[in-house]
Structure 1
Amino acid sequence: MNRPMPRKPKSPKATRLMAIDAWIDSAFYEIGFKASEIWETFTIFFRRFRYTGWKRVFFELLGEGFTMGAAGSVVMLALAMPAFEETEGNWRAQDDYAVTFLDRQGNEIGQRGIIQRESIPVDEMPDHVIKAVLATEDRRFFEHYGIDFLGLLRAMSENMRANSVVQGGSSLTQQLAKNLFLSNERTIERKVKEAFLAIWLEMNLSKKEILQLYLDRAYMGGGTFGITAAADFYFGKSVKDLNLAEAAMLAGLFKAPAKYAPHVNLPAARARANVVLTNLVQGGFMTDGQVLQARLHPADIVDRGDRNTPDYFLDWAFEEVKRLTAKSGVRSMVARTTIDMNLQRATEESVEYNLRQHGKEYGVTEGAVVVMEVGGAVRAMVGGRDYGQSQFNRATKALRQTGSSFKPYVYAVAMEHGFTPDSIVSDGPITWGKWAPKNYARSYGGGMDLTTALVKSINTVPVRLAKDYLDIPPIKAMAEAMGVESTVSSHKTMVLGISGMTVLDQATGYSVFQNNGMAGLRHGITQVLTRSGDVLYDWDKDATPPKRVLSTTAVGYMNSMMVQVPERGTARRAALPTIRSAGKTGTTQSYRDAWYIGYTGNYLAAVWLGNDDFSVTRRMTGGSLPAMVWNRLMTYAHENVDLKPIPGIENPFVDATVIAKAEAKQKKQEDELGDIERRPVLSGSTTRALRAIADVFKNSSVIDAPPEPETLSAL
């Protein structure tokens, strides 16, 4: 019989390990048991909130609302961050600069800065002035918190009833946010920022402070900013002394200062003032009896004569003056500018004329132009059709895709890398990664010289140049070296103009071709002086010296190609009678933007046409309406001037046979330009001689002393 072997007694170490294992098992069991008890208790508790029927629907919607609210809060925060970035800097401070601007002839053309500094506290303004503004701009100003939803609904209903925009829904705070931090560009992004900034202003300022800033910063027409400056300009008195009729007229200017400016259209201003008086009654601010005298005796204004200030140019020049004199510590000064008021009026007239005549046909509403003289002086600037309607400067701030007008930058690099106008490059299908650009006509011409490719605006040739011979970085570097300040894309599609540029950028870049390869010549300020006459800045002495970015050979090649664009290429409508010009058209995808940048040996003009909301036009190309705008203003610009040749082009005149064909067209254009003030009929050489004589007398220590004989002989 087998007996079991006796077990050996466990060691103390093994006993301890078994005890630890048992403790771990027990601990996990206890934790699991307690967790199940807690979960059961939690479940039983929340079973009390389980509803059926309409109660369940309510709580389900409430739960979804919390979820959507959390997600919405994240989205709103993401949208708010760009808006709050606009508040950086000392935005409360009034601009303490006071600058008087003179044109190239020394005539005063406007002021900036000082009219924002002369402020009268709201508490010291007459009660009827404040009521007139609130009754028209924001009746519920003291009741809402930045955004007036009731006012917005009322405006929408009124607009639907009238089938047009007759009321605006923006609160006074929203309008202030736009004036302080944003532009007038009509985009969804701007409206979102405006809403956030309005709430931010309400959180950081009192209602009185918001109203004060609004009254001090709004554009009021006639080149004036703020109700204090407007009262002085239109009525020759302080805002404290305004009567009800005058207050109503000023209150009517906030939304449309150009349309209702009394010095431009007094009947329209009085009609608008009558609307303000009606608003006072309807809003409960006054009674019919209180406004009766103002209706019977409308306001009269001070006669200021014909005051047509180049406001877009002045806004840009004001920023230039502040940049140039920032280290001087001086805040009150006089600036001599480069603007030619005759050419400025001709440029404004050309834009307005062509948009009135052909705007509906092409589905375009806005335009911008910069005109420069050889040497870089900015002679005219149009930043939009109506400064009173929109102070957003489309010439210096709007970034619009350039389309084919970017191609000269590509060809300029090619000329510097050994290509010539006669170099042959294949115009055939090309693929660059997943990108397969095509020509406008969807056809190909095989081997093609670069002149023909540029003149016909072929797409595949510059793409092939960039892909096979040049690469993107040198093209980007060339555009920047030529003066383009906007960010140039580094993507391969930049070859065909996807980068956004300003009109001023385009004029600056193309001016290198006009100035024989030299960059850095653009300027709008020739001199800045203190009120006592001390010179703070002088362009001839203090400006950064220009630098060469294109060789004379490359410039000659480029100009020899670009003169053929208006002669046999895409810009035939830009061809000037008797004068050879060079240039390039540009049209972006879906016809949203159209460009023509052209130049002679005397002047350069960059023209952009499009819509503020980026909507498409009716197949408008750069060779259509922009070329027509360019032609009209440049025809005027070249009257009675000494013609200069384009660098690399020996003869500035068109062939005699072409001149004969253009005579009829020239006469017609001269007749159309008859309402513009003509240039002086003296030739350029005679004008220079007369100015030299004037300088002799001006610099003479004795006014009646005759000039020295050698001076006269030099003249």
Structure 2
Amino acid sequence: MARSDIRRSAPSPRGGKSSKEQPRGWRLFFRRLFVWGFSLALIGVLSLAVAVGLAAQSLPSYASLKASQNEQMIVVRARDGTQIVSLGPSYGKWLPTAQIPQVMKDAILSTEDRRYYSHIGIDPVGVARSFYVRYQQGKFRQGGSTITQQLARTVFLNNSRTFGRKVREAVLALALEWKFSKDQILELYLNKVYFGGGAYGIDSASRKFFGHPGSSLSLPEAAIIAGLVKAPSHYAPTADADAAVGRAQVVLGLMVENGKVSADQARGVDLKGIKFAQEGGQNSVRYFTDWALPQLDLLLGENTKPIEVWTTLDLKLQNSAASAIKNNVPAGTQGALVSMDRDGAVLAMIGGTDYVTSNYNRAVNAVRQPGSAWKLFVYLAALEAGYTPATEVVDEPVTIQGWSPHNSGGGFAGKIDVRTAFAYSKNTVAAQLGNEVGFSSVASMARRFGITTPISTVPSMVLGSNEVRVIDMTRAFAAVSARGKSIEPYGISKVTTTDGEVLYTHEARSSVQLVPENVANGITDLLQSAVSIGTGQAAQIGRPVAGKTGTTTSNKDGWFLGFSSGITTGVWMGRDDSRPVAGLQGGHAPARAFAAYMKVAVSGRPVERFQTDMVAPAFQISPDDEASFSGSPDEYYYVDENGNLVEPPADKTAARRPSDAPEDPAPGPDDANRGGLEAVDPPPAASEDFLNKATGKEKSDGTPPN
């Protein structure tokens, strides 16, 4: 039995093996590697297919992709429709595939994706070549991104160089290829890719760099545009024209390699002979756009559509204003100008001598002392109180609360009328009038006419010690030009989308009568006299002009503000550091700049004669009938701290001064900063005592004259 058992357990002969030998060592390792690798690859492919399918389903429609853009484009137009500046990205007109020149398609495909029509969104050959270059040179020199990947990055992603972003880019590229045709993807790409200089899409790039639509691009122009994709900021003609031409030579060489053009055609292209479009000057215009465009947040609210903003700016007048300031401003000083039409439309705005050097807008942001230009409010208050241009006053030494003003020349003219005192800017007379009507009344008049800066009621305020803005002072003079009616400056007349949808249209607010028309007529009489015979003679332009000069202590500020034929213009000159400027006076450089500009501004308008007749309103003739005219104190003008119109109190009687209150109450701590105006009864006419003193009927010590 033992022998028999041994025989049975003996191994079978070599050729009679009954079972397969199990793999061992490396054979087992590679078999397992293959099985696991195949399984993981299959899972990866299935996962990728699911991811691509889900991404394709979540992609926006083709129409939505056409309408989408990364940032808002704002095209700003002058009042005649001329484009003056484009802010943000510019997308131009959408060009369908049929309108895109074939040379443009050939140039971009030769440069960016020569196997575009043969891959599925990612190009394995391009990726392999990119890694090979990486192996040879130690860094990536070629990105390997297809046009579809670039489109995915442009529309959905950012330019970060992370591995995660590249994976998402590849998935989105495959999804795009799944959902859209090759022609659709190429159309999206050519209308959305960034070409530098703020231009997105070939139409915008063509218009910006060559001055014509993208549908008419030539071979050399297409080569230049195709070459911009690699480095838009470097190769853009606006940045470096020579670099753009050099890059275009490379593009032409690639087109020859890909059989899109012949070598002879490429050699016949004269890239250096291309005429690049010149960008229009945007220097002084930017002061205006910096002021006007922030108002869009209030006018439109939340909006991300590309828009066109139609403004009130007149390019001819803007250029004239820039020249007037530049040619008249003293060396080392700055100048500002604001010009308004009769409805408040801002026709020109200069915020400094050079926007590139300094973009600080002195026309709307700087606050400076107006000097004698402030007397507008002093004399308005006096005229409303009962004075007339013919009323006699006395130019003589005066002291008010310890303050003794002096005239510019140092002398005194004695007995003169109000018209002469204003024309020659007599400080002593302005001080007497301000003291008589009340400094708080002068401050209220300034608020009523749109002055938004703090106002102090110390006696020296009558000579312009309070700081003001150029635009506010111009607004006040414009209200006088409108015969006492309120004026609200505005710079935007209409806002539309680039497709023509109207989003906003300016509607004029109803005017408020700030002072009776007879008072407006009287101050116009005084302003006209200041130009015809007084300190503002340099502002004469050969037709009626009404205006006022202003000069501050030590010639730190020079002003001229005035109007003619419905246009009101304010000019300021001075140094930003408020240091004195030798020879700077309102009647010299500012008045000359005003005249130089206004000669152009009113050249196409009819000559207008001023209404200067003073007819007393009903409430001054008959106190019981004071509500019969539109300038009743119950309808005084109100402005907030930003200078915007606000409604008077609903209970008008509550806003009026109690009958037992003093005429000129001491100003409270908040009076100088109050944005609105508390309505009061009309100021009383000049007292008999003051008139006696002003006309010389009584000596300053109270005794009758000899």
The alignment's TM-score, normalised by the length of structure 2, stands at 0.51
Q: Which residue is equivalent to 1:339? A: 313
Q: Which residue is equivalent to 1:494? A: 461
Higher CA-based Rg: 2
Q: Which residue is equivalent to 2:595? A: 631
Q: Which residue is equivalent to 1:229? A: 198
Deviation at 1:555, TM superposition (A): 0.8
- Pick one of 340, 344, 353 that aligns with 2:327: 353
Note closer, same or farther for the CA distance 1:239–1:494 as it changes in structure 2 (3 Å cut).
Answer: farther
Deviation at 1:566, TM superposition (A): 1.4
3-state SS, counterpart of residue 344 of structure 2: coil
Deviation at 1:249, TM superposition (A): 9.0
Deviations 1:417-469 (A, max 9, x none): 111111223322222223211111122222331111110001111111111x2
Note closer, same or farther for the CA distance 1:475–1:244 as it changes in structure 2 (3 Å cut).
Answer: closer
- Pick one of 538, 546, 557 that aligns with 2:511: 546
Q: Which residue is equivalent to 1:312? A: 287
Q: Which residue is equivalent to 1:103? A: 78
Note closer, same or farther for the CA distance 1:536–1:649 as it changes in structure 2 (3 Å cut).
Answer: farther
Note closer, same or farther for the CA distance 1:510–1:243 as it changes in structure 2 (3 Å cut).
Answer: closer
Deviations 1:34-67 (A, max 9, x none): xxxxxxxxxxxxxxxxxxxxxxxxxxxxxxxxxx
For residues 442 and 334 of structure 2, what CA distance do their matches in structure 1 show?
30
For residues 567 and 367 of structure 1, what CA distance do their matches in structure 2 show?
24
Deviations 1:257-290 (A, max 9, x none): xxxxx89xx9xxxxxxxxxxxxxxxxxxxxxxxx
What one-letter code is carried by the residue in structure 2 that aligns with 1:572? Answer: Q
For residues 282 and 438 of structure 2, what CA distance do their matches in structure 1 show?
48
8 A Cα contact 1:372 1:604, kept in partner: yes
Deviation at 1:558, TM superposition (A): 0.6
For residues 235 and 378 of structure 2, what CA distance do their matches in structure 1 show?
58
The alignment's TM-score, normalised by the length of structure 1, stands at 0.51
Q: Which residue is equivalent to 1:387? A: 355
Note closer, same or farther for the CA distance 1:248–1:303 as it changes in structure 2 (3 Å cut).
Answer: closer
8 A Cα contact 1:236 1:302, kept in partner: no
Deviation at 1:489, TM superposition (A): 2.7
3-state SS, counterpart of residue 198 of structure 2: helix
- Pick one of 429, 433, 457 that aligns with 2:397: 429
For residues 245 and 236 of structure 1, what CA distance do their matches in structure 2 show?
13
Note closer, same or farther for the CA distance 1:236–1:369 as it changes in structure 2 (3 Å cut).
Answer: farther
Q: Which residue is equivalent to 2:701? A: none
Note closer, same or farther for the CA distance 1:520–1:638 as it changes in structure 2 (3 Å cut).
Answer: closer
What one-letter code is carried by the residue in structure 2 that aligns with 1:477? Answer: S
Q: What is the percentage of aligned positions where both structures have the same residue?
A: 28
3-state SS, counterpart of residue 389 of structure 1: coil
Pairing 1:645-664 to 2, within 5 Å after superposition: 645-648=609-612
Residue 470 of structure 1 pairs with residue 444 of structure 2: no
Deviation at 1:601, TM superposition (A): 2.5
What one-letter code is carried by the residue in structure 1 that aligns with 2:578? Answer: F
3-state SS, counterpart of residue 518 of structure 1: coil
What one-letter code is carried by the residue in structure 2 that aligns with 1:511? Answer: A
Q: Which residue is equivalent to 2:529? A: 564
Deviations 1:74-118 (A, max 9, x none): xxxxxxxxxxxxxxxxxxxxx976432221112221134558xxx
For residues 237 and 345 of structure 2, what CA distance do their matches in structure 1 show?
42
Pairing 1:91-170 to 2, within 5 Å after superposition: 98-112=73-87
For residues 277 and 343 of structure 2, what CA distance do their matches in structure 1 show?
39
- Pick one of 503, 519, 537 that aligns with 1:536: 503
Note closer, same or farther for the CA distance 1:533–1:229 as it changes in structure 2 (3 Å cut).
Answer: closer
Residue 508 of structure 1 pairs with residue 478 of structure 2: no
Deviation at 1:539, TM superposition (A): 2.0
Q: Which residue is equivalent to 1:642? A: 606
For residues 508 and 438 of structure 1, what CA distance do their matches in structure 2 show?
29
Deviation at 1:317, TM superposition (A): 1.2
For residues 648 and 576 of structure 1, what CA distance do their matches in structure 2 show?
19
Q: Which residue is equivalent to 1:483? A: 450
Deviations 1:575-605 (A, max 9, x none): 112x010100000111011000011123111
Residue 460 of structure 1 pairs with residue 428 of structure 2: yes
For residues 463 and 388 of structure 1, what CA distance do their matches in structure 2 show?
42
Q: Which residue is equivalent to 2:583? A: 619
Q: CA RMSD, aligned part only? A: 3.4
8 A Cα contact 1:514 1:647, kept in partner: no
8 A Cα contact 2:555 2:585, kept in partner: yes
What one-letter code is carried by the residue in structure 2 that aligns with 1:376? Answer: G
Note closer, same or farther for the CA distance 1:428–1:322 as it changes in structure 2 (3 Å cut).
Answer: same
Deviations 1:337-363 (A, max 9, x none): 1111111111111111223xxx24xxx
8 A Cα contact 1:335 1:527, kept in partner: yes
For residues 398 and 518 of structure 2, what CA distance do their matches in structure 1 show?
30
Q: Which residue is equivalent to 2:418? A: 450
For residues 404 and 547 of structure 2, what CA distance do their matches in structure 1 show?
27
Q: Which residue is equivalent to 1:404? A: 372
Deviation at 1:325, TM superposition (A): 2.3
What one-letter code is carried by the residue in structure 2 that aligns with 1:596? Answer: F
8 A Cα contact 2:342 2:481, kept in partner: yes
For residues 97 and 481 of structure 1, what CA distance do their matches in structure 2 show?
39
Pairing 1:569-584 to 2, within 5 Å after superposition: 569-577=534-542, 579-584=543-548
3-state SS, counterpart of residue 450 of structure 2: coil
For residues 414 and 105 of structure 1, what CA distance do their matches in structure 2 show?
42
Deviation at 1:237, TM superposition (A): 8.5
Q: Which residue is equivalent to 1:590? A: 554
3-state SS, counterpart of residue 295 of structure 2: helix
8 A Cα contact 1:112 1:314, kept in partner: no
3-state SS, counterpart of residue 556 of structure 1: helix
8 A Cα contact 1:99 1:318, kept in partner: no
Deviation at 1:571, TM superposition (A): 1.2
Pairing 1:234-249 to 2, within 5 Å after superposition: 241-242=230-231
Note closer, same or farther for the CA distance 1:241–1:434 as it changes in structure 2 (3 Å cut).
Answer: farther
Number of residues of Structure 1 aligned to a counterpart in Structure 2: 395
Note closer, same or farther for the CA distance 1:634–1:535 as it changes in structure 2 (3 Å cut).
Answer: same
For residues 238 and 418 of structure 1, what CA distance do their matches in structure 2 show?
76
Deviations 1:164-190 (A, max 9, x none): xxxxxxxxxxxxxxxxxxxxxxxxxxx
8 A Cα contact 1:404 1:496, kept in partner: yes
What one-letter code is carried by the residue in structure 2 that aligns with 1:110? Answer: V
For residues 294 and 458 of structure 2, what CA distance do their matches in structure 1 show?
32
Pairing 1:82-93 to 2, within 5 Å after superposition: none
3-state SS, counterpart of residue 548 of structure 1: coil
For residues 339 and 305 of structure 2, what CA distance do their matches in structure 1 show?
29
Q: Which residue is equivalent to 1:599? A: 563
Structure 1 runs not aligned, ≥5 long: 1-94, 116-226, 251-261, 267-296, 651-715
Deviation at 1:614, TM superposition (A): 1.5
8 A Cα contact 1:112 1:318, kept in partner: no
What one-letter code is carried by the residue in structure 1 that aligns with 2:512? Answer: K
Deviation at 1:633, TM superposition (A): 1.1
Deviation at 1:497, TM superposition (A): 0.6
8 A Cα contact 2:551 2:586, kept in partner: yes
For residues 591 and 329 of structure 1, what CA distance do their matches in structure 2 show?
47
For residues 489 and 301 of structure 1, what CA distance do their matches in structure 2 show?
60
3-state SS, counterpart of residue 463 of structure 1: helix
What one-letter code is carried by the residue in structure 2 that aligns with 1:377? Answer: A
For residues 520 and 227 of structure 2, what CA distance do their matches in structure 1 show?
58
Structure 2 runs not aligned, ≥5 long: 1-69, 91-195, 210-223, 243-270, 615-706
Q: Which residue is equivalent to 1:525? A: 492
Deviation at 1:492, TM superposition (A): 2.6
